[in-house]
A and B are shown apart, each in its own frame.
Chain A
Amino acid sequence: MTKINKNKPLEGILVLEFCQYLSGPSAGLRLADLGARVIKIENPGKGDLCRILPIKDQWVEENTLLFHTINRNKESYTANLKSEGELAEIKKLISKADVMLHNFRPGVMEKLGLDFQQAKMCNSEIIFAEISGYGKEEPWAKKPGQDLLLQAMSGLMYASGDREDAPTPFGLAIGDILCGAQVVQAVLAALVYRKRKNKAVKIEVSLLESLIDFQFEIFTTYFTSGKLPVRSAVNNAHPLLGAPYGIYETHDGHIALAMISLKDLKETLGSTELDEFDQSMVFSKRDKIKSVLVEILKKENSAFWMKKLQANGLWAADLKNWEQLKNSEGYKKLQLEQEIKFSEEKTIKTNRCPIRIDGEVMWGEIPAPNLGEHSKAIKREFELNEELL
Chain B
Amino acid sequence: MKLLEGITVVDFSQFLSGPSASLRLADFGARVIKIEKTGTGDICRQLYVSEIEVANESTLFHTINRNKESFSANLKDERDKHQVLELIKKADVVMHNFRPGVMDRLGFSYEKVQKLNPEIIYAGISGYGEEGEWKDLPGQDLLLQSLSGLPYLNGESTKLPTPMGISVVDILAGTHLAQGILAALVKRDATGQGSLVQVSMLESALEFQFEVFTTFLNDGEELPERSEKNHAHSYIAAPYGVYETTDGFLALAMGSIPKLAELLSCSPLLKYDNPKNWFKQRDAIKKILADHLKNQKTSYWLNILEPADIWCAKVLNIEELTVEEGYKVLEMEMTVNTSKGQQIKTTRCPVRINGMKLNSERGAPFLGEHNDAIVVEFGLKN
Contacts and interface: CB of A to CB of B under 8 A. Distances in A.
B195 A205 contact: no
A214 B166 contact: yes
B345 interface: yes
Given A185-B182, A224-B344, A351-B213, A231 B165 contact: yes
A272 interface: no
A209 B349 CA distance: 8
A317 B160 contact: no
Given A9-B187, A166-B230, A222 B197 contact: no
Contacts of B210: 69-70, 350-351
Nearest to B24: A185
Given A161-B162, A354-B207, A228 B318 contact: yes
Interface residues of B: mostly helix, strand, loop or mixed? mixed
Interface stretch (B78-86, B260-268, B328-336): B328-336
Contact of A30 (B179, B315, B351): B179
**A interface, size bucket:** 35 or more
**B interface, size bucket:** 35 or more
Contacts of A258: 138, 140-143
Interface string B59-95: 1101110000000000000000000000000000000
A185 to B, nearest CB: 5
B382 interface: no
Nearest to B7: A192
Given A171-B232, A254-B160, A259-B140, A204 B242 contact: no
A193 interface: yes
A11 B191 CA distance: 10
A152 B314 contact: yes
A351 B204 CA distance: 10
Interface stretch (A40-48, A75-83, A318-326, A372-380): A318-326
Contacts, number: 448
A355 B233 CA distance: 27
Contacts of B228: none
Contact of A315 (B63, B143, B161, B351): B143
A189 B182 contact: yes
Contacts of B349: 213
Nearest to A137: B329
A178 B175 contact: yes
B348 to A, nearest CB: 8
14 contacts: A153-B313, A153-B321, A170-B154, A170-B168, A196-B5, A216-B64, A220-B63, A258-B140, A319-B146, A323-B223, A325-B148, A333-B131, A350-B217, A355-B183
Given A146-B311, A160-B154, 16 more contacts: A11-B187, A137-B326, A139-B325, A139-B326, A149-B251, A153-B313, A153-B321, A160-B155, A166-B242, A181-B179, A184-B179, A185-B351, A193-B3, A315-B143, A337-B217, A351-B210
Interface of A: 9-13, 22, 30, 34-35, 55-58, 65-66, 69-70, 134-135, 137-140, 143-144, 146-161, 165-174, 177-178, 181-182, 184-186, 188-193, 195-196, 201-206, 208-210, 212-225, 228-229, 231, 235-241, 245-249, 254-256, 258-259, 283-284, 315-323, 325-326, 328-330, 333-334, 336-337, 348-359
